[in-house]
Amino acid sequence: MNKAEIRNNILKKRLSLSPEEIKNKSHKIFLNLVKTPEFLNSSDIMFYVSTKSEVQTEEMIKSSIMMGKNIFVPIILSDSINLVPSRLIDFDRELAKGKKGIFEPKEEYRRLFPAKDLDLIILPGVAFDTEGNRIGRGLGYYDNFLKGVNPSTNTIALAFEIQIVEKIPTNEKDVPVNKIITEKRIINSSEYRVYYEQRDTKHRGK
């Protein structure tokens, strides 16, 4: 299957989850996230603001702010494919629906922050494989964003288990994530990548 086929397939599956299932699974994912050293050791964290069928981040963002973390959410600047982090202080007051139907900080609450100073980026996606390869909405926003961040910045994607597929076809612009957290497990994708790389090198050597 190509990217577009996988994207459609998984989007359809995700749309069949009830609001109740989405809420419960998202809460489990949050409990898994707060256990990770990446989350515990980070003070400057970017979260996406979830749309209806994505893993929900409202509870995560509000709790993280209460824990004293500095939380940033992405703004799409004009008609570009550039995401820029903006500091969020009050979830209920500061957000409004942006052009693409995604909630972003209103003009008066924009506090831009350099992406390279983030400790951790929490990102959404449509489909993933265990190596951390990712299919997004098909516009390459996060690929473009991740190519500009510090290599020491951690990346964690949040997904429901039904969004994990066997293999994602990739191109040179796709940037994989370090970890994927579902309601069932924490997938250390960077370790999977090292494992497969070593295995494949060994096979080629024979």
Ligand X SMILES: Nc1ncnc2c1ncn2[C@@H]1O[C@H](COP(=O)(O)OP(=O)(O)O)[C@@H](O)[C@H]1O
The residues that touch Mg ion, with contacts defined as CB under 5 A, are 143, 174
Work out whether 143 is an interface residue with ligand X (CB under 6 A): yes
The residue within the footprint of ligand X, chosen from 1, 3, 62, 75 (CB under 6 A), is: 3
Instruction: Select from ligand X, Mg ion, none the partner in contact with residue 139, using the beta carbon and a kind-dependent cut-off of 5 to 8 Å.
Output: ligand X
The residue within the footprint of ligand X, chosen from 93, 147, 184, 185 (CB under 6 A), is: 147
Work out whether 34 is an interface residue with ligand X (CB under 6 A): no
Work out whether 140 is an interface residue with ligand X (CB under 6 A): yes
**CA-CA-CA-CA torsion sign (37, 39, 45, 48):** positive
Smallest gap from residue 136 Cβ to Mg ion (A): 6
Number of residues that bind ligand X (CB under 6 A): 12
* Integer Cα distance of 91 and 58 in angstroms: 8
Looking at beta carbons, which residue is closest to ligand X? 140
The residue within the footprint of ligand X, chosen from 28, 87, 137, 193 (CB under 6 A), is: 137
Cβ pair 80, 56 in contact under 8 A: no
Q: What contacts 93, CB < 8 A, 6 or more positions away?
A: 109
Q: Which is nearer to ligand X, 30 or 142 (CB)?
A: 142
Smallest gap from residue 66 Cβ to Mg ion (A): 33
Work out whether 136 is an interface residue with ligand X (CB under 6 A): yes
Q: Which is nearer to ligand X, 2 or 152 (CB)?
A: 2
Instruction: Select from ligand X, Mg ion, none the partner in contact with residue 137, using the beta carbon and a kind-dependent cut-off of 5 to 8 Å.
Output: ligand X
Smallest gap from residue 110 Cβ to Mg ion (A): 26
- Identify the CA nearest to 44 among candidates 132, 121, 134, 137: 121
Cβ pair 153, 117 in contact under 8 A: no
Residues that bind ligand X (CB under 6 A): 3, 135-140, 143-144, 147, 173-174
